[in-house]
Structure 1
C-alpha cells in the first residue's frame, strides 16, 4: 500500500474505526478481525486490509487489499502513515534487564546533552517524566508505537531506546521501526504459556536480529551467555556490527574494585561509582554503554552519568526500613530474575533474607515450582502469596509454587502477606517483595483492582503497630 494521502487513520479494532480509516483485519487469540469488517465499513472505513486466504465477500465502494501477513502489514502501514521517527532508535531484547537497560541508556544520553526517551514496560519516559503509560504491554501495538514516535519527534527527541519483547516480535508490532542498533541481555525461561517451547521463545527473540535490525546497524551482545555465538553468527551473515560485552575478553568489560566500578570500552578505561550492588545491573549498564557507542554518543560523557543513575521503578528498589531491616521491591516474576535478585540481596544482608512472592495466573505454569525451589534455596524465610491470579484459582497457583518451596509459609491475600512479612523482620534482615514491581494493580478474574506493593509497604513502615 503506497498511497495513504486520503486515509484519516488506521484501526485494527472495529470499535475505534472513524470515517476514512483503513481497517486491518487481524486474527487474534480470542477474536477474528474478519468478523468485524462489516461493522468497520458501517463506521466509515474506506479501505480494508485482510489476509490473502480470506473468503470474505467484497462490498462496492470499498477498496480491499489482500496480504500474506496482516499483522506485519499493519506495522508497515502505521510507519508509513505517521512517517516521523527519532533519528537514533535502539532496541533492547532478552528475557530480563530490558527496562533497566533502556533506562540507563536514556539517562546517560540526557547527561551527555541529548534529548532522549525510553519506551517499554514503564511507559514512555523523557526528562524523568512519564509521558504515556502504554497500558500493560512491553511493546505497544504498531499504531500506538508509531504515534508515540511521531510525538517524540515533535518534542525534538533525537534518541530513543525501546524494549523489544518476544510477543512484540512474534506479533510484528515492531516492524517498520528503523533501528540503529539492538542489544541482547540474556535468555532464560519465560512466557511458555504463549510460546509453548523454549526453542519457539528463542526463535521469536532471534527475529530482532535476523529480520528487524537493518544491514550495517550494530548489535550489542552479552558474551557471557551461551546464546552469544548463535546471535553473533546471525549478525555476521547480515553484515551487522557486533559489539560484545562481558566480564572479560569483550569490547566492553567491567570489574569491581572496592567501591569503584572499572569499565573498559574499546580499550578506554574508566573508574566510577555505580549505585547498584547487583551483578546483573552491571551487565545492563554494559549493554547500555554499547548502545550509547552505537548511537555515536560520547562515551566519556555517558560514563560521567553512571554514578548518578537512577533505578527503574520497582527494580530492586529500596522502599524503606522497619526496625533496622531493609525492604526492597522488585519486579522479578520469572525464575532467573528471582535467582539474581536473591543472590544480589544476600551480599548486603547481614542477618536473614526474606522473600515474598507469588505467580501470575493464565501464565507459564511450569515455572511455578521452579521459582519455589529457588526461593527456598536462596532465602531464609519464604512467604508464598498471590500475584495476579487472573482467571485461575489463587489457591491452586500457590499450591504449585509450594510444591517446590520446602518450608515456605503460605499466606492468602497479598496485603496480609506483606503485613506479616514486615512484622517478622529483625535488625539486619532484608525483605524482598517480588513479582509486581511498578504495577499499581492486581488482576483477579477479569477485574483490575488498585493495589501497589509500594503503598502497602509504606503504610506499615510509616505507622508501625503498637507493642
Structure 2
C-alpha cells in the first residue's frame, strides 16, 4: 500500500544516473501520461509514449505541477521540477510503482499466467480453485479485475507497471493472500512485471497453431523465452506460507483431436519440478458443458461435469487442475473448483437463451481464436450456427477480409455489424470484411451497422437447436 515515499528514496530505487534539483519533496503520485499529472507527482517521460502527446509532454507535466521528471535524456531545464535521468524509463516506472505502493508483491503470493489466448480461461479457473481452497484471491487481467467483493475495470492491452502494482496493492487492501495476473507475452517483454517478484509464472500453449510467444522446451525442462530475463523476476525458494516458486509451461500434445471419447493429453514442465503428463477422456461435450474423466498426474481419477462449453475450455480446466495439484492445493478444492466454476468472461460465455437456442459471447481479438471458437461451436451445434460480429480499428487491415472468410466458412448465417471504428470509416471497415465473406459464400453478408438492431435481428431468427 502507499507509503510516504520521498524523491530521494525514489531516485535510489530507480537507479538514477544523474539528479538535477532537490530530492526532499514527498511523492504525491506517479504518472506516465502528462494529462493525468497532479501537483507533487513524478512524471515518467517514456520515449515511445511521448509521440502521442508530442514534444509538449514534459512542459505539460510541469505546468500541471509535477515535482520531478524521470527521463532518459535531458530535454528541459530543471528549474521548476527536479530532473532524474535513468537508463531505462519504463523499468524505472516499474521499480518506482512497486516502491510507491509499498512493495505489494512482497506480501502476496503472485501467480502470472501468460502465453496463448487460453491464459484467460486458465487464470479464471485457477482463481476459482484458490477460492474453493479457502485462499482469498484477487484476479486482474484483460477481462476485468476481481478483488474479493470488489470489481475494477480490466487491465488495458497497453497497461504499464503502474496499473499492475496498483492492482496488487488493491488486492492487499481487499484482504487477499494471493493474486493472479493474466497478461499477454508482449506486456512481460515491455517490463510491466519488473518492479516486483513472482511466485509462479505460467506460460500456456493449449491451442493448435502458432501463438506468438510460445513455451520453448530444453530437454524436458522449462526456460524463460528469450528477451524475458529482464522483464520478470521469479522469487527464489520457499518463503513462509508461500508455495515454492517456479516457471511452468503447459503445452497441449493433442490439440487437434475432437469428438466424444477423444483423449486430452498435455504436458506440464516446471522449474525446479520435473515434467509430468496429464490426461483426460472427453466423455460428452455440448453447448451446456463438458463431461470428463480426469487422470491425475499422481494416479487415480475422477469424473467432472464442467459448466463450460467446448474442448478448448476443457483443456484450460485440466491445465488449471494440473497446476493446482503441482502446487499442493487440495484435490477436493480442485474438483469442486472446476465443477462449480462460473463462465469464463468473454470466452464462449453463456449470456442467456432465446427460443431454446443458447446465446454465447466471445471477445477474442485474434483471427485464429475466432476460427477455433466457430469450429468448436459448429461441432457442438445440432442446428444452425448464427454469428454476429464486426471488426474495429484494432483489427489490422490486411486480415479483415480473412475474418469475413472465416465466418462464411463455419457459420450458417452471419450478420455483420459495426465495431469501434476509431478514426476509420465504419462502412469501409465493413466492406473489407464483406469482401472476404463473399469470396467463400459467393455473396455479401447481411450488414446492419446499428449493433442493437443487429442483435435483435439475429435473436429473432434463432430456433431450438441453434446456437447464437
Alpha-carbon separation, structure 2, partners of 1:361 and 1:101: 28
2:57 to 17, 33, 36: 36
Alpha-carbon separation, structure 2, partners of 1:417 and 1:163: 32
1:219 aligns with 2:238: no
1:115 deviates by 0.2
Judge conservation of contact 1:166–1:205 (CA < 8 Å) in 2.
no
Match of 2:239 in 1: none
Match of 1:423 in 2: 460
Alpha-carbon separation, structure 2, partners of 1:168 and 1:315: 21
Match of 2:114 in 1: 93
1:350 deviates by 1.4
1:111 deviates by 0.5
CA deviation string 1:6-61 (max 9, x = no partner):
3232222233333433221122164358633234334443332101xx24233247
Alpha-carbon separation, structure 1, partners of 2:38 and 2:430: 45
Alpha-carbon separation, structure 2, partners of 1:362 and 1:347: 29
- Which of 343-352 and 180-189 deviates more? 180-189
- Matches for 1:256-405 after TM superposition, within 5 Å: 256-258=282-284, 260-271=291-302, 272-293=304-325, 295-405=327-437
- For the residue of structure 2 that corresponds to 1:169, the secondary structure is helix
1:309 deviates by 0.6
Name the CA shift for 1:20/1:389 in 2 (closer, same or farther; >3 Å): closer
- For the residue of structure 1 that corresponds to 2:77, the secondary structure is coil
Alpha-carbon separation, structure 2, partners of 1:329 and 1:385: 15
Alpha-carbon separation, structure 1, partners of 2:170 and 2:227: 27
Judge conservation of contact 1:251–1:267 (CA < 8 Å) in 2.
no
The CA RMSD over aligned residues, in Å, is 3.4
Alpha-carbon separation, structure 1, partners of 2:235 and 2:142: 28
Judge conservation of contact 2:294–2:301 (CA < 8 Å) in 1.
yes
Alpha-carbon separation, structure 2, partners of 1:327 and 1:334: 21
Match of 1:14 in 2: 34
Judge conservation of contact 2:30–2:41 (CA < 8 Å) in 1.
yes
1:187 deviates by 8.4
Long gaps (5+) in structure 1: 191-196, 228-234, 245-249, 432-467
- Matches for 1:97-246 after TM superposition, within 5 Å: 97-127=118-148, 129-134=149-154, 137-138=156-157, 140-186=159-205, 207-208=227-228, 211-214=231-234, 217-224=245-252, 240-241=271-272
1:211 deviates by 4.0
Alpha-carbon separation, structure 2, partners of 1:69 and 1:288: 36
The TM-score, its normalising length taken from structure 2, stands at 0.76
Match of 2:287 in 1: none
- Which of 365-374 and 30-39 deviates more? 30-39
Alpha-carbon separation, structure 1, partners of 2:300 and 2:403: 39
Judge conservation of contact 2:116–2:212 (CA < 8 Å) in 1.
no
Name the CA shift for 1:430/1:81 in 2 (closer, same or farther; >3 Å): same
Judge conservation of contact 1:220–1:290 (CA < 8 Å) in 2.
no
Alpha-carbon separation, structure 2, partners of 1:46 and 1:326: 55
- Matches for 1:37-56 after TM superposition, within 5 Å: 37-51=58-72, 54-56=73-75
1:104 deviates by 0.8
1:139 deviates by 6.4
1:80 deviates by 1.7
Alpha-carbon separation, structure 1, partners of 2:394 and 2:196: 30
1:243 deviates by 7.0
Judge conservation of contact 1:120–1:162 (CA < 8 Å) in 2.
yes
- For the residue of structure 2 that corresponds to 1:430, the secondary structure is coil
Alpha-carbon separation, structure 1, partners of 2:228 and 2:341: 27
2:445 to 409, 430, 433: 409
Name the CA shift for 1:209/1:113 in 2 (closer, same or farther; >3 Å): farther
The TM-score, its normalising length taken from structure 1, stands at 0.76
1:351 deviates by 1.6
CA deviation string 1:313-336 (max 9, x = no partner):
332122333333332222133222
- Which of 181-190 and 383-392 deviates more? 181-190
Match of 1:453 in 2: none
Alpha-carbon separation, structure 1, partners of 2:321 and 2:182: 16
1:157 deviates by 0.7
- For the residue of structure 1 that corresponds to 2:350, the secondary structure is strand
